[in-house]
A and B are shown apart, each in its own frame.
Chain A
Amino acid sequence: MIDFMEANLVRRMSWAFCAAVSCCLLYSAYGQVKEDGFPNDSRPGVEETMALLHKLVAEELGSDGGFLGKTRFTIDLKANTYMYDMSPQPIGLVLSNSDPLSIPLEAMLRTEALRRDLQKSLPAESFWVVSLANVQSSVRKCVESLVQLKDNLAIQANENDCSEKIGEQIKQLDQSIDAFARDRKLTSIQPVRERSPATGYKVRVSIEPPRARIRYMTLLEYKKCIYTKNSLANQWNDMLEGDMNLIGRYHYLAEWPSELNGPEEGNFEIRQPGTMTFHPGVK
């Protein structure tokens, strides 16, 4: 009797397992179709895709100067140093990992950030223009090939090819920047790491009244910008209300409306966890 019940239970569990696996497979397939987002005959063309990617890049560079739009090139003629960083970002931060366009988009984010920095740092030089255009051209070719392909397997194979070709062009760009630095006898400095080794203290930030945009940067970064007369624009990070991990001394800019005394700048120091409230006129 017990054996029969057990056998019945096992059979039912097997059926339930098969049904669950089938559901998962169907859901996954449906998810892929949804993720793709385009019926086979209504996929956007190359120009539309490029326009979409350019729009995404412009949005990301405009809004995220600290991570996706981080500084890729700086030059300090007084100290005779330069910083160049074309290290890739993780793909899938803007589009999903499975989206074939995430590879060209990541390359576009890097090249556009570099172009922005080179235009600012070396506007009179032309050595980088061709190399950068070659990278952009390889990105465009990649997008063209990906847009035209409809078979998923072919797209996957093409993704690797795309990465390799873009990587080759970026290598040539690296070489042209190295040659420029050698020619000018510039010393390379390491790009700063994104994450501080000190985890920092949890600080609850509040802005009262919440009508100001508060931006901040480390005090050393501020001092460096002032000394080198570089623009502060790319160094600011937005401070949002809520919990943040901070440690050490910072410089801030609070943009209060004119009726609340207008913009205000200053320094603050974090030595322990706590609460920090920004008020107009008084911190």
Chain B
Amino acid sequence: MATTQLREFGEVLADFRQLSSLALKGIFIVPMVTIWLNVAPPPVSVTSVTTSTLELLAAIWVFQFWYQTSKSTLERRMKIAILCFSLGLISYLGLSQSFVVSPGSGQERVIKGYQVRPDVEPLLNPSYKTEDALKDNEYDPQKVWTEHSISTVKDTLLLLWIVTFISLSISFTIFIVLQKRRPSSLPKSI
């Protein structure tokens, strides 16, 4: 990282007074908080640590490669990042409502598939649904849905989660870069 960018990035990380700096650090911490909230795609701890690391890398990326980029380009990228964040969050919440099941308190949530196994399909009817089959098999989705369909849903949820948080990190880091470029209204100390 060039000296200027490195210094700026270091200053943002070391600053505990500016609201924007605090918020950026908060964004890195948010995925870790989801370990307690149990909202990240399972396995929650692995996903959360990976997301935090990727967010930090995204922030470094913005400082390193986009620091000298023109204001208009950065603003356009920030809009795209915010759009990606919003769409990603809505899609993730929608998908997780449909495909993530909680077996009960203290249990790791399980991800369902979309294609039922051929040996389970004949048992299903309006009064006996896939959720019942899941409950009747110790909440093991692999005994109810095909492995391929479970993997597809799992990968999609993970991708959406990571893209959402990376977009958040990018949009916020661009915001900080743009704020730092503004000429300060305060008189410089002599």
Q: How far is the CB of A145 from chain B (nearest CB, A)?
A: 39
Residue A219 is within 8 A (CB to CB) of chain B in the complex: yes
Residue B133 is within 8 A (CB to CB) of chain A in the complex: yes
A221 contact set on B, CB distance < 8 A: 137
Q: How far is the CB of A119 from chain B (nearest CB, A)?
A: 21
Check A248–B103 contact: CB distance below 8 A: yes
Choice from B107, B119, B143 contacting A199 with Cβ under 8 Å: B107
* A56, B96: Cα distance in complex, Å: 48
Known: A197-B108, A197-B110, A199-B108. A81 touches B119 (CB 8 A): yes
Q: What does the 1/0 interface line of A239-252 toward B look like (CB < 8 Å)?
A: 00000001111000
Q: What does the 1/0 interface line of B109-152 toward A look like (CB < 8 Å)?
A: 01000000111111100000000011111111111101100000
A79 contact set on B, CB distance < 8 A: 118-119, 121-122
Check A192–B136 contact: CB distance below 8 A: no
Check B118–A187 contact: CB distance below 8 A: yes
Known: A189-B119, A224-B123, A272-B104. A198 touches B139 (CB 8 A): yes
A176 contact set on B, CB distance < 8 A: none
Check A200–B118 contact: CB distance below 8 A: no
* A272, B137: Cα distance in complex, Å: 16
Interface residues of A in 104-125 (CB under 8 A from B): none
B133 contact set on A, CB distance < 8 A: 220
* A247, B138: Cα distance in complex, Å: 5
Residue A258 is within 8 A (CB to CB) of chain B in the complex: no
A223 contact set on B, CB distance < 8 A: 123, 136
Check A190–B147 contact: CB distance below 8 A: yes
A189 contact set on B, CB distance < 8 A: 117-119
Q: How far is the CB of B120 from chain A (nearest CB, A)?
A: 7
Interface residues of A in 224-258 (CB under 8 A from B): 224, 227-228, 246-249
Known: A199-B107, A271-B104, A272-B104. A193 touches B142 (CB 8 A): yes
Check A192–B143 contact: CB distance below 8 A: yes
B121 contact set on A, CB distance < 8 A: 79
* A198, B142: Cα distance in complex, Å: 12
B117 contact set on A, CB distance < 8 A: 189
Check B138–A198 contact: CB distance below 8 A: yes
Check B120–A190 contact: CB distance below 8 A: no
Check B123–A227 contact: CB distance below 8 A: yes
Check A196–B138 contact: CB distance below 8 A: yes
Q: How far is the CB of B143 from chain A (nearest CB, A)?
A: 5
Q: What does the 1/0 interface line of A17-52 toward B look like (CB < 8 Å)?
A: 000000000000000000000000000000000000
Residue A128 is within 8 A (CB to CB) of chain B in the complex: no
Check B120–A224 contact: CB distance below 8 A: yes
Check B143–A220 contact: CB distance below 8 A: yes
Residue A201 is within 8 A (CB to CB) of chain B in the complex: yes
Residue A164 is within 8 A (CB to CB) of chain B in the complex: no
Q: How far is the CB of B121 from chain A (nearest CB, A)?
A: 7
Check B104–A201 contact: CB distance below 8 A: yes
Check B103–A220 contact: CB distance below 8 A: no
Q: How far is the CB of B46 from chain A (nearest CB, A)?
A: 14
Check A198–B108 contact: CB distance below 8 A: yes
Known: A197-B108, A221-B137. A78 touches B122 (CB 8 A): yes
By a beta-carbon cutoff of 8 Å, the part of chain A in contact with chain B is: 76, 78-81, 187, 189-190, 192-193, 196-201, 218-221, 223-224, 227-228, 246-249, 271-272
By a beta-carbon cutoff of 8 Å, the part of chain B in contact with chain A is: 103-108, 110, 117-123, 133-144, 146-147
Cross-chain pairs A/B with CB under 8 angstroms, 20 sampled: A79-B118, A79-B121, A81-B119, A192-B143, A193-B140, A193-B142, A196-B138, A197-B110, A199-B107, A218-B137, A218-B143, A220-B144, A223-B136, A224-B123, A228-B119, A247-B107, A248-B134, A248-B137, A249-B135, A249-B136
